[in-house]
Amino acid sequence: MTTAIRRFIDRRLGRGEAAITVPIFDGPLLPDTALDEAEVFATLRGVDNLCATEKGLIASSGGRVLRLSWSGRPAEEIATRAGEITALAAGKGMLAIGLDGAGVTILGGAHDGRSFGDDGAGPRHPTALAFLDTETLLVTEGSAVNRARDWRRDLMEKGASGSLWKLHLASGRAERIVTGLHWAAGVAATGSRRVWLAESWRHRIVAVDLASGRIETVLPHLPAYPARIAPATGAGFWLSFYSCRNQLVEFILREDGYRRRMLAEVPEPYWMAPALVSGASFREPMQGSQLRRMGVTKPFSETRSYGLVVQCSPQMQPLRSFHSRADGAAHGCVSACERGDDLFVAAKGNGKLLRLRGVARES
């Protein structure tokens, strides 16, 4: 009852969850141009999930899984699927593949061919995968209604049907740990019974107790929509993001009549909503600060797409960040992984696989 009253008052006063203010990029999140200055390791349309292995860097692109050798040889196709691959995780001698609308399949190893979700008894729309151990796989499902590729629709529909699953590879049992999440986009093991989970539409990282399903917020009020989480040197983590938040989008999310009409009447590429890339068409929505002046787009202007990767401590607190600002060309950084001293980033919006040399060893 108290919560309902507080929310009613917040809506009237425009504060709390009803506020349309957006946190600024400051402190460890201070903007730079590191992603735009990074080496382009490969150009790959729709590059998405990344996994580092001894034989090379595993990346997904549409329905293909590719291995790019560390020596620079041409990419090798190691798997092809009919649908879009929306999640990947590499284990000992095996690869877990998440298919949009078709669940999770294991490729290689003792559980080769094992599948979950294709019969409706598990996660059907996986957004991220992480091995808890050789027999257990963690899966985030962004939404029980919308496919992983429809993340923008889920945001603008105010979706809250995401979930975290634990898949037991030996028995084939799928166990749902928690549901009702506002787009579960990433998950990472911590070495304990707690795991980190990215809840995108609430702009936060939470700790989930695998035994009880209890949720605790550890990193709230992020200025962007968090995506996947990957392990980093020193027991830390790399946190990637779909895009930055926008005050106009926050306002539209609270104007239900306008929002519903936009979803029903406007083609999706032209919604006033976050995007992996923007500026490709004159029909896209534009805010005043995005107008070119003397042929230049201001890097600090409002934008629907952005590139951001954040290095976090073992306690999931930001240490430093790498950006591609409004005028950049490395947006939609939905996945990152490190190998040795280097960090690899998938800028899906611009189809670039980036390599930031030496940043993984720097404090």
Query: How does strand 57-61 pair with strand 64-68?
Result: antiparallel
Distance CA 320, CA 141 (A): 28
Give domain status of residue 363, yes or no: no
* Exposure class string for 106-115: b at 16+ Cβ within 10 A, else e: bbbeebeebb
Give domain status of residue 217, yes or no: yes
Distance CA 55, CA 220 (A): 37
Return the closest-CA partner of residue 52 out of 355, 363, 362, 351: 355
R_g of the chain computed on alpha carbons:
20
- Report the CATH number at residue 349: 2.120.10.30
Indicate whether 226 pLDDT > 90: yes
Distance CA 135, CA 263 (A): 42
Q: State pLDDT tens for residues 289-308.
A: 556 666 666 777 788 999 99
Give the chain's mean pLDDT. Answer: 91
What local confidence, expressed as pLDDT, does residue 109 receive?
87
Give domain status of residue 362, yes or no: no
Q: State pLDDT tens for residues 43-92.
A: 999 999 999 998 899 999 999 999 998 877 788 899 999 899 999 999 88
Contact 44, 60 (CB under 8 A): no
Give domain status of residue 294, yes or no: no
Give domain status of residue 88, yes or no: yes
In terms of residue numbers, what domain contains 175?
22-280+303-356
Amino acid of residue 325: R
Q: Which two tokens stand for residue 249?
A: 């989008």
Give domain status of residue 298, yes or no: no
The number of folded domains in the chain is 1
Indicate whether 353 pLDDT > 70: yes
Give domain status of residue 295, yes or no: no
pTM of the model: 0.92
Give domain status of residue 1, yes or no: no
Amino acid of residue 96: A
